[in-house]
Structure 1
């Protein structure tokens, strides 16, 4: 192994140690490897149970072994160069820089001593935005139930777990192991949190102005969404922003299209976003080594249809010409027009009017017969009186003509 490769491995994994030709890595730490090939695309051969993150940019394959565990042990081979990794059995005076996502990630900070007697451990945390340290275990209100820590362990294992990690967890974590006859062991972890955001979304509001007129109004707003599946539509403009909780020297941020493996500078402006631009990843490089790859999926739908009838229509995909014709013919068969509705109402009104007219005539005829016989019932009395008044008027007119 060359001296250059050894130095890269040392700084990328946060102070590993070498034993019997194998590089020892603390549990929960990260290992970053590069492989460059001038002839064909470089490819790392990894142990069967290892599942590292791979990124291919040009002729270089970046390998990130995140949260190193027992299944990550073994040989890693590229271009006939072999590197062996194994788990570290105890903490040493190391300083490690770890990158984690602001959502969905977990953090394991290894702190363990090898001693036949019991050791004492103290954990402290100093946020990047503060000058004061907090003793974890005594005051862990910030983390709530996300933090798991035991300060009394017969195996002298005082490792700390935070799950899930949050943006505000960024800072410097320190573990000190001590005993009455052994020197103190001090292990430091610096946590940098990474997140991807969407800004400058172009939102659509759809209104129905009348029964036959639909209008799409476009309202441009500015918003920030942290790695959420924000709803977008084809043709929208969006800016992808990659952020880190703490600025470190030699940290570079890029956006990678995980489908095409193309990389773009940060921030990235996407104009007229398309369906093929869904899957992205925010890549954080530290000293030319891949330290984090935070996925960001854009929820893109096709253009909304402008032919909806409802005042608050549900989103629809833009139909083709054939589907438009099919939908139009189906609407004609199933939905009556306003003219047809008016015709039906007119017919119903005529039927009701005719029915009441016939009913009135029948009741009048019955009352007239009752009056002639002199036994009109009380129910018919109003109608009979009306008929009697009409008869009297007619009789008066006849007499007046005779005179």
Structure 2
């Protein structure tokens, strides 16, 4: 490559880097309000290991074509980000050294950055001694909690215990493996050994009854650190509903949480719409909202927990919209048309068919038993003393019984039919009617059940 080419390449590179630097400088930090919540630790500017950090970014107005989101070193953050009322929140759970770094809030229009703001997160290397911290966790299969106790000095023994009632969960001695006592199963990040300073008890998933005060006790006497855990759970009744059917959503927080506000949020894409909120006081620990008519746009919800106006926990729930056989909505008297109605019809037809078959079998059994117990017929014999031409005489039980010829013929042969209508699922889930006819032949008070060609062959 010639000298002129090299010179041209270097000038182009310098121009591009300078343009990128100017674009970065032009980011208007002053129009975004960035704030970080860390639990108070005196004069310490860092968040304690194992606690939660909430970052918020507020913009004055946000048109539809704009988006507001948090990123960490150019990469999108996890799904704990919430976008609500021109504010983007992010909750960092159980922070440690890997949580440290620069977090950037970016305002974009059609993918192009318009404004940005930065927030640096720093985490202490050690656990602050004799401090009490409050954490909130949703109860789900994906939630977790890391109880971290790391001291500056060495301790020979250490343990994590749960008070109310007191329960020792994990114990350790210096230079030995840890001992888990249960009943809470340890997560994958739980310490396997103890070297005198750090003991971690990882809980995953978090259950609703795991709330309480968790204490790190050193040398069996020093309460080194205390974590108060409050749990949040959400439920839907019914969990699955038909279109236009009502659903009740309930959000509940465990006992002991004070100055807490619950809010139900409906998710519309990456945005949340405020539906209902209430500050919990006294013994009240739940917030419910009734959806009068469930639709496709009402399946994703979140219960948000605020403490002193700071977002501390999110509990998501996804409703299930049941498919229907017809588009007719459920009637007000509780009769549901569609899949449930079809199931009822099929079940009723099956029951009716079973009843008919059972009655036929019982009738056949009793008639056959009755015929077997009756005296055998010896046939018709003429009696010289009985000469009425309109009558025939049947020898039964050693005597002659007069019987009209028409009655005898009716006794000799009778036929009846029973038709059963079955509703079955055809191709594509469409109902198909099958008609099955059973023929009953009564002869000498016995029943022969014939179907199809067998009926035809027995006529002769």
TM range (shorter): 0.5 to 0.7
Is the 8 Å Cα contact of residues 38 and 47 (structure 2) preserved in structure 1? no
Q: What corresponds to 1:96 in structure 2?
A: 133
Larger proportion of helix: 1
1:154 aligns with: 195
- Deviation readout 1:9-54 (Å, 9 max, x if unpaired): 233xx64975xxxx53344422112211113354333233742511
Give secondary structure in 2 for the equivalent of 1:173. Answer: strand
Quickly say closer, same or farther: Cα 1:301–1:9, change in 2 above 3 A.
Answer: same
Distance 1:6 1:95, change over 3 A: farther
Q: What SS does structure 2 have at the residue aligned with 1:276?
A: helix
Unaligned segments of structure 2, at least 5 residues? 1-28, 106-114, 172-178, 277-286, 325-337, 350-425, 440-449
Tell me the distance in 1 between the aligned counterparts of 2:68 and 2:457.
87
Gaps of 5+ in 1: 202-229, 314-325, 355-403
Give the counterpart of 2:72 among 46, 62, 83. 46
The structural deviation recorded for 1:194 is 0.5
> What SS class does the counterpart of residue 311 from structure 1 fall into?
helix
Find the partner of 1:77 among 91, 104, 119: 104
Distance 1:171 1:185, change over 3 A: closer
1:35 maps to 57
**Alignment partner, residue 255 of structure 1:** 264
Q: Which of 86, 91, 114 is the equivalent residue of 1:64? A: 91
2:236–2:249 Cα contact (<8 Å) kept: yes
Partner in structure 1 of residue 307 of structure 2 = 286
Decide whether aligned partners of structure 1 residues 172 and 7 sit closer, same or farther in structure 2, where only a CA change above 3 A counts.
farther
Does the CA contact (< 8 Å) of 2:46 and 2:123 recur in 1?
A: yes
Is the CA contact (8 Å cut-off) linking 2:34 and 2:118 kept in structure 1? no
Match of 2:419 in 1: none
The equivalent residue for 1:350 is: 456
Local SS of the residue matching 1:282: strand
Residue matched to 1:25: 47
- TM superposition shift of 1:102: 2.3
Say whether the 8 Å CA contact 1:146–1:164 is kept in structure 2. no
* 8 Å Cα contact 2:70/2:77 also seen in 1: no
Are the counterparts in 1 of residues 211 and 231 from structure 2 also a CA contact under 8 Å? yes
> Shift in Å at residue 235 of structure 1?
2.8
Structure 1 pair 149–42 and aligned structure 2 pair: CA distance change class (3 A): closer
Using a 3 Å threshold, how does the CA distance of structure 1 residues 243 and 140 change in structure 2: closer, same or farther?
farther
TM-score, structure 1 as length reference: 0.61
Verify: 1:186 aligned to 2:221, yes or no: no
Per-residue CA shift, 1:302-324, capped at 9, x if unaligned? 332445551179xxxxxxxxxxx
- Counterpart CA distance in 2 for 1:274 and 1:267 is 18
Q: Sort the Cα spacing of 1:312 and 1:240 in 2 relative to 1 into closer, same or farther, 3 A.
A: farther
Distance in 1 between residues matched to 2:452 and 2:342, nearest whole Å: 30
Name the structure 1 match of 2:166: 133
* Alpha carbons of structure 1 residues 6 and 126: separation in structure 2 relative to 1, 3 Å: farther
Please state how far the C-alpha of 1:196 moved relative to its aligned partner.
0.4
Partner of 2:147: 109
- Name the structure 2 match of 1:298: 319
TM-superposed CA distance for 1:254, in Å, is 1.2
Is the CA contact 2:34–2:55 (under 8 Å) kept in the aligned structure 1? Answer: no
Aligned CA distance change for structure 1 residues 166 and 246 (closer, same or farther; 3 Å): same
Deviates most, 286-295 or 257-266: 257-266
TM alignment of 1:361-400, pairs within 5 A:
none
Alpha-carbon separation, structure 2, partners of 1:6 and 1:274:
36
Q: Which has the higher mean CA deviation after the structures are superposed, 48-57 or 237-246? A: 48-57
Counterpart Cα distance in 1 of 2:254 and 2:103: 32
TM-score by structure 2 length? 0.54
- Per the alignment, do residues 71 and 50 of structure 1 end up closer, same or farther by CA in structure 2, a change over 3 Å counting? farther
CA deviations 1:239-284 (Å, max 9, x no partner) are 1110011243321111112235212223111112223221111111
Q: Check the 8 A contact 2:161/2:167 in 1, yes or no.
A: yes
Aligned mates of 1:51, 1:150 — CA distance in 2? 25
- Helix, strand or coil for the counterpart of 2:236? strand
State how far apart, in whole Å, the 2-side matches of 1:301 and 1:190 are: 40
Q: 2:183 aligns with which of 140, 143, 146?
A: 143
User: Following TM superposition, by how much is the alpha carbon of 1:345 offset from its aligned partner in structure 2, in angstroms?
Assistant: 4.6
Q: 1:246 aligns with which of 249, 255, 261?
A: 255
Residue 349 of structure 1 aligns to a residue whose secondary structure is helix
For 1:273 and 1:9, locate their aligned partners in 2 and report how far apart those are by CA, in whole Å. 37
Provide the C-alpha distance between the structure 2 equivalents of 1:66 and 1:237, rounded to a whole number of angstroms. Answer: 35
